[in-house]
Amino acid sequence: MFAGLGHFVFRRRWVLLAGTLVFIVIAGASGVSVFSQLKGGGFDDPDAESVRAELLLAEEFNAGSPDLVMVVTADQGVDSSPAQEAGRALTEEIAAEPGVAQAMSYWSTDSPTLRSEDGDKALVLVRLTGDEEAVEAAAEPIIADYVTRDSLRIDTGGPAALGVSLGGIIGEDLAIAEAIAVPLTLILLALVFGSVISGLLPIGVGAIAVLGTFLSLYLISQSTDVSIFAINLTTALGLGLAIDYSLLIVSRFREELAAGLGTEEAIARTVQTAGRTVAFSGLIVAVALSALLIFPLYFLRSFAYGGIAVVLIAVIGALISLPALLSVLGSRVDKLAIGKGRRPIQTGTGMWHRIATTVMSRPLLVGTPVVLLLVLLATPLLGVSFGLPDDRYLPRDQAVRVVGDTLRTEFGGGGASALSVVLPSGGPEQADQFARQIASLETVAAVDTVTGSYTDGEQVSEPGPAAARFANGTGAYLEVRSDVEPISPEGEQLVRNIRALDTGDEFLVTGQSADLADSKDSIFSRVPLALAIIALATFVLLFLMTGSLLIPLQALLLNVLSLGAVFGAMVWIFQDGNLSGLLDFTSTGTIDTAIPMLVFCIAFGLSMDYEVFLISRIKEEYDTNGGENTVAVANGLQRTGRIMTAAAGVLSITFIAFALTSQVNTIKLFGLAMTLAILLDATLVRGLLVPSFLRLGGDANWWAPAPLSRVYQRFGMSESEHRAPS
C-alpha cells in the first residue's frame, strides 16, 4: 500500500504540489482569525458541584462570583464624602453598562471586606451575563473605559480581565517564539543535512503544519469551545512533528538515491519504509492525544481536538506533499551543499554504532546509573501540590496581576474571592443555623447571609438593607470569607470541611477554592482510564510493528521513568520556585492541575515517535541480517541516531523558544517540560537505556507466543522487504 502511494505521488507530483499550495493559501487566509475565536478558560467540569451552584446563584438570586474586580483608589480615603459620592455614582454607572448583570461595591453594601486595610482603596465587583465569549466581549470596553472617574483611579482584574489579557499576550508570545525558533531550526537542519535545499524541506512541511494548526483550530472553535493555550502548544507540536517526519523522509530518500535507485523507485521505497514509520508514529501520537477526550474540561479537550488534527496534517504533509517535492527535485535535493556536504550514513561504523556497541558490552554498568538518575530526578514529585491558573501566571506589570497582588496584600477577609454556599430550598432559619456551623470553622473569617453576619460561630450583626439579596423566597445563600489564599491546599481544605458539615438540607458550594477541588476530582478520577487507554493502545500498536511482547513493555517502562523525572523537575522548578529568577516567573506553590496530564499525553506520544523511528529500523536490520540482535541494534542506532538527535534538537528549540519568550507561567512550564522530556528521551533513553535493555533481552526481544506470532504475520507492519537491486 505504501509503495503504491509512493508511485502515485511521483506520477501526480505537480497536481499534489498545486493542491498543497491551495491548502496553504486557504489555511493562511482563514487561520488569521483564530485568536479571536479562542477562550481563556476551560478549567471547570460543567457537571461539577461548583459549576451547578454558580448557575443557581445566577438564575435564582442574580448573584455569583465576580467576573471583574475593580480596585478603586481614592487619595482622600474611600470614606471621604467626595469618594462616597463618586463611588456610588461609579457603581451605578457600571451597573447600567451593556452585558452587566450586577455591580456591587463597598459604597453600595458597606461591607468591610470590600475596603482595604488602610482605607485608601475599595472594590467594585462586577458580574457579567452570557457565556465565556460574551463575558469577555462585555469586559473589554469596561476595562478600557473605566480608568478614572472624578477623583477615583481604577485598576481592573478578575477572571474576565485575565482571559482578555491572555488572548493578547499569547498572540505576542507566539510571534516572538516563531521568529526565534524558525531561523535557528533552519540553520540546524542545513548543518544536519549539509545542504541548504535539504534543510529547507522540513521547514516547508512545518509551515504547512503551522498554518494547518491555525485552520483546524479555527474550524473546531466554530462548533465547540477551544482554549487559547492550545494555539501555542499545538503550533509547537505541529512544527516539531512535521520537522521530525520530514527528517526521516528526506534522510531515507537520500539514502535510497545513494544506493543507486532512480527517483521514482527511491520515492516508492522511502514511502514504503520511512513513510510507513511516519504513519505508524502519527497514529501512536494521535492515540496518546485522544486520551484527553475523556476529560470534561475543555482546556484539555482542546489539545485533543487541535493536536489530533495537527498530527494528521503533519503526516499528510510528510507522506504526500514532501515526496511530491522530492519527486521534482530528485538528486538536486543535495544542492547548495555546506562545506563538503553530508555523506550517507554507513552501517558498521560511526559514532552511534560505537555508542551502541560500548553500551551493549556493559549493559548493567551503563543502564543502572541512568535509571537511578531518573528516579532521583522524580523524587520531588512526592511533594506535588496542584492548583488552578490565576493572575500570578502573568508578569508583575500586567494590570490583572497588579490587581491580584493588591487584593492579596491589602484586603483581608477574602471579599473578592468569597465562597458561596447555596441552600436551594432553605429559609432564614436554615441559613442561620448553617451560618453558625460554617463560622465556627477554623479558617473562616466571617459569614454573611439573609439573617446577618457571623464570626466564630456566633451572630455578630443584624441584617442590613443589603442582606435581602441573600434570599429569593424559596431558598437562600451564604457568603463565606476567609483569609486563606483561595487557589491553595488550604482553600481546597476549607471547601472539603464545609461540604463535610451535616445540615440535613441540600446545599452546594462554589467559588475559586471549590473550582479547584472539583477540577482536581474531575481530572484525577479519569486519569486511570486515560493511562489505560494510552498503555493498551501503545502496546498493541508496537506489537503490530515489531511482533514482540517485550519491546512494548520496555517502551512503557522507559516512558514512566523519563516522564517521572520530567515531572519531578517541574515540581522542583515551578512549584518550589527554584530558577524563578532566571526564568522570570512567580511560584504559586502549586502546579496547574491540568498540565501534568497534558504533558504526559504529548510527551508520551513524542517519545513513542522516537521509539518508532529507532525500533522500526532495528527491526528492519534484524529481519535482513539473519536475526543478529546486537548487530541489528548497533546498525539501527547508527542509521537513526543522527536523525533522532537532529529531530530532538529541532523540536527542543521550538519548545524552549516558547518557554523562554512566553510571559505566561503555563506556557513556560509546558515548554520547559517538553524540552526536558525530548532531550532526556533522545539522549539517555534512546542512546543508553534502549541498547542496554535490548542487549539484556537478546533474542527474546523479538519473541511472541505462536498464536500472537500468527496475528503479527497477518496484521503486522514490517519493513523487512528486500531492497531493490542497485
pLDDT computed for residue 323 by the predictor: 94
pLDDT at 344 over 60: no
Q: Which of 510, 515, 513 is nearest to 478 (CA)?
A: 510
CA distance 229 to 38: 8
pLDDT digit string, tens, across residues 278-325: 898 888 888 888 999 999 988 889 888 888 988 999 999 999 999 999
Mean of pLDDT values over 482-506: 89
Q: Between vectors from CA 287 to CA 284 and to CA 289, what angle results, nearest 5°?
A: 110
**Average pLDDT of every residue of the chain:** 87
- Residue pair 717/545 in contact (Cβ under 8 Å)? The answer is yes
User: For 571-628, where are the alpha helices, taking DSSP H only?
Assistant: 580-583, 595-624
Confidence tier at 572 by pLDDT (50, 70, 90): very high
Q: What is the grid cell recorded at 264?
A: 521514482
Phi, psi (5° rounding) for residue 668? -60, -50
Is the model more confident about 620 or about 450?
Answer: 450
pLDDT computed for residue 247 by the predictor: 84
Mean of pLDDT values over 640-645: 82
pLDDT at 722 over 60: no
CATH of domain 68-133+146-157: 3.30.70
Is the model more confident about 172 or about 570?
Answer: 570
Q: What is the grid cell recorded at 648?
A: 530532538
Is the model more confident about 688 or about 622?
Answer: 688
pLDDT at 256 over 70: yes
Mean of pLDDT values over 266-281: 89
Cα atoms in the 13 Å half-sphere on the side-chain side of 103: 20
Write the single-letter amino acid at 399.
Answer: A
pLDDT at 726 over 50: no
Which distant-in-sequence residues (6+ apart) come within 8 Å of 171 by Cβ?
35, 231
Confidence tier at 332 by pLDDT (50, 70, 90): confident
pLDDT computed for residue 649 by the predictor: 84
pLDDT at 48 over 50: yes
Mean of pLDDT values over 368-382: 95
pLDDT at 50 over 90: yes
Q: Between vectors from CA 192 to CA 188 and to CA 198, what angle results, nearest 5°?
A: 95
Q: To the nearest whole percent, how much of the chain has pLDDT over 90?
A: 42
User: For 1-105, where are the alpha helices, taking DSSP H only?
Assistant: 2-11, 13-31, 49-61, 81-95
Write the single-letter amino acid at 151.
Answer: S
* DSSP-assigned letters across all residues of 143-188: HHH-SEETTEEEEEESHHHHHHHHHHHHHHHHHHHHHHHHHHHHHH
* Residue with the three cell numbers 482584574: 157
Confidence tier at 721 by pLDDT (50, 70, 90): very low
Q: What is the pTM of this model?
A: 0.82
Give the highest mean pLDDT range of 209-218, 438-447, 463-472, 480-489.
438-447
CA distance 226 to 297: 10
The residues spanned by each domain of the chain are 2-32+164-383+522-715, 68-133+146-157, 418-510
Q: What is the grid cell recorded at 244?
A: 521530525
pLDDT at 723 over 50: no
pLDDT digit string, tens, across residues 698-718: 888 888 888 888 888 887 765
Arch. (CATH architecture) of 2-32+164-383+522-715: Up-down Bundle (1.20)
SS3 category, 101: strand
